[in-house]
A and B are shown apart, each in its own frame.
Chain A
Amino acid sequence: MNTPTPRAKRHAQTLWSWFWILAGVLYFVVPLIATFDFSLRAKKDVLTFLAYERIFTDAAFWRTFSFSLQMAFFAIVVSILLVVPTAYWIRLKLPRLRPMVEFVSMLPFVVPAIVLVFGLIRVFSGPPFRLTNTFAGTNVLLVAGYVVLALPYTYRAVDTGLGAIDVRTLTEAAQSLGAGWGTIMFKIIFPNLRVAILSGAFLTLATVIGEYTLATFIVGNKAFGPYMSLIGQNRTYESSSLAIISFLLTWAFMGLIQIFNRGRAEGHLAGAR
């Protein structure tokens, strides 16, 4: 009795494992069910998609959503153009600088979004930049902020991707065939890094699309995050349907990353709590 058979032991272990999985799944699923249920109750006593209809026919939804999509697009383009050549160059010519670039790319972890936006506004509202005086200026500032938020992930993804290819040989082969730096960058490095670039891009998209902290202080209600918050203040059922919509979006973006990475999940901190 005191020494359980190996089989009984394994049995107990499996039960114990299922218990914790069940606990986690409940924590994960119950709020989703509750939110979905709530989003269907816009009419008394019947289940209806009315709340979704109202959101999808709201001009402000499409306006803010496409605005945030554009900001995300520019942030992705800028961060790729900034990070890929830098990481490539560091590996090729300045390997001694690598710890420093790595350190700098980690800095956004240390500066919470609220502190970042505080500093950005104070620096760029005054001379000589005065970015907050024009719409274009605030958009530039928001995109820059998003590039900063995404920097740790983008840099790590790209650097890991570069580690998997032989940068030096590829470069020398291209040069001996007469390729210039532009050709090397766009015809050799970028295509070889497409997995890293795509997963970085979708992670940026997932964090930026409903981002609230930077958006509310820099551009206000023009962006999707602040729009959701506004809906939450005065429309009960619509806010639940928005939560479901944005959950599905996150799901779609993360699913795409998993497909690119062939099922390898990565641990990360998103910047937009």
Chain B
Amino acid sequence: MSSKPNAEIVQTKRDAPQARPAMARWRDWLGVTPFFLFTFLFIVLPSVYLLVGAFRDTRGQITLKNFVGLFAPEILSAYWVTIRISAVTALGGGLLGFMMAYAVTVGGLPRWVRTILLTFSGVAANFAGVPLAFAFIATLGRTGMVTVFLKTVLGLDLYDQGFSLYSFWGLSFTYLYFQFPLMVLTITPALDGLKREWREAAENLGASTFQYWTRVALPILMPPILGAMILLFGNSFGAYATALSLTGGFINLVTIVIGSQIKGDILYNPGLGYALAVGMVIVMATAMMIYFALRRRSERWLRQ
């Protein structure tokens, strides 16, 4: 909101003298009607429908029971698994992505590595859903290349050790494939913003590399790192196609439960299905609010 008065000053300065000041006003609004009509119909209306439905019982009476129903053990466990998988892949993808972005920005690698990494990341961040599941079945499935390699060469049978591609950890490994490239793409600009002078100043004062990172660089980078990880969290939280085609729906994620609810009323209560969806939107909205707050904070230091 801080840009508002500023924008008004610019506007009054740059505006041509208005020939018909009052007349044009309502016509101006006409220009944005299609946009607002479209977004109302296809974003707001569906969301409001689910929200209203979440407060109704099967006979159309207003109720809070559906939200109480969210605390049933199997639903709570769906949320818990989804949140855990999102957190694990946000942390793992965040760490790997950060280290790779570090390597190509301040890590002293040649420029071409950076170009290639950013291009690859753009592709991998968009390679998700059904084909990604196929790729991981060919890699870490029972007869997948890595599984067979570990078994024949190292004598390590993943599946005997309790690993399964179709379970929590398998799904996490699969999600990581689109998570760490997204981290690379979002955190690289922040690392670019680290000023050489800060490092030099720290070194002149006798700081070691370790001290520079723990006392200077990481504190400055913390808001963008956390922000990017929250973005990754949301990215996993809403994933459906990858999980469905990998596990065939046998993993208890919120998105999978909603998917089954759309196909048929598996919860035997449409209102509970709507409440489930509203719960997802609340989690996503919270994540995005924190993300934007952190981004505003990080812009203070890392403006270029």
Contacts and interface: CB of A to CB of B under 8 A. Distances in A.
B126 A250 contact: yes
Nearest to A251: B123
Interface in B35-89: 35-36, 38-39, 41-47, 49-50, 53
Given A119-B47, A254-B126, A243 B284 contact: no
A97 to B, nearest CB: 7
A145 B163 CA distance: 37
Interface stretch (B94-102, B153-161, B215-223, B296-304): B94-102
A83 B241 contact: no
B284 A111 contact: yes
B128 A272 contact: yes
A28 to B, nearest CB: 6
Nearest to A272: B129
Interface string B171-207: 0000011101110111011000000000000000000
Interface in A127-180: 144-145, 147-148, 151, 168, 172
Contacts of B135: 31-32, 34-35, 240, 243, 247
A194 B269 CA distance: 49
B136 A210 contact: no
Contact of A240 (B35, B125, B129, B138): B138
Contact of A269 (B117, B119, B235, B281): B235
Given A31-B135, A34-B139, A272-B129, A17 B50 contact: no
Contacts of B49: 119, 122-123
A273 B242 contact: yes
A258 B234 CA distance: 25
A257 interface: yes
Nearest to A264: B118
Contacts of B127: 246-247, 250
A217 B262 contact: yes
B21 interface: no
B100 to A, nearest CB: 5
A63 interface: no
A101 B234 CA distance: 22
Interface in A19-46: 20-21, 23-24, 27-28, 30-35, 37-39
Interface string A75-88: 00000001101100
A105 B8 CA distance: 22
B133 A232 contact: yes
Contacts of A267: 125, 182, 185-186, 189, 231
A95 B127 CA distance: 37
Secondary structure of the B contact surface, majority rule: helix
B168 interface: no
B211 interface: no
Contacts of A116: 43, 46
B96 A110 contact: no
A17 B131 contact: no
A269 B102 CA distance: 21
B261 to A, nearest CB: 8
B107 interface: yes
A112 B238 contact: yes
A243 B134 contact: yes
Interface string B257-285: 01101110000000001000100110011
Contact of A212 (B130, B178, B185, B258): B130
A118 B100 CA distance: 38
A200 interface: no
Interface stretch (A8-16, A52-60, A66-74): A8-16
A224 to B, nearest CB: 9
Contact of B34 (A82, A90, A111, A246): A82
A80 to B, nearest CB: 12
A243 B263 CA distance: 26
Given A23-B96, A229-B130, A270 B125 contact: yes
Interface of A: 9-10, 13-14, 16-18, 20-21, 23-24, 27-28, 30-35, 37-39, 82-83, 85-86, 89-90, 93-99, 101, 104-123, 144-145, 147-148, 151, 168, 172, 203, 206-207, 210-213, 217, 225, 228-229, 232, 239-240, 242-243, 246-247, 250-251, 253-255, 257-258, 263, 265-270, 272-273
Give 4 closest A-B pairs by Cβ, nearest first: A119-B46, A112-B238, A17-B107, A273-B239
Interface of B: 1, 4, 7-8, 11, 14, 16, 24, 28-29, 31-32, 34-36, 38-39, 41-47, 49-50, 53, 96-97, 99-100, 102-104, 107-109, 113, 115, 117-139, 144-146, 176-178, 180-182, 184-186, 188-189, 209, 231, 234-242, 244-245, 255, 258-259, 261-263, 273, 277, 280-281, 284-285, 288
6 contacts: A9-B209, A113-B238, A114-B277, A116-B43, A121-B262, A232-B134
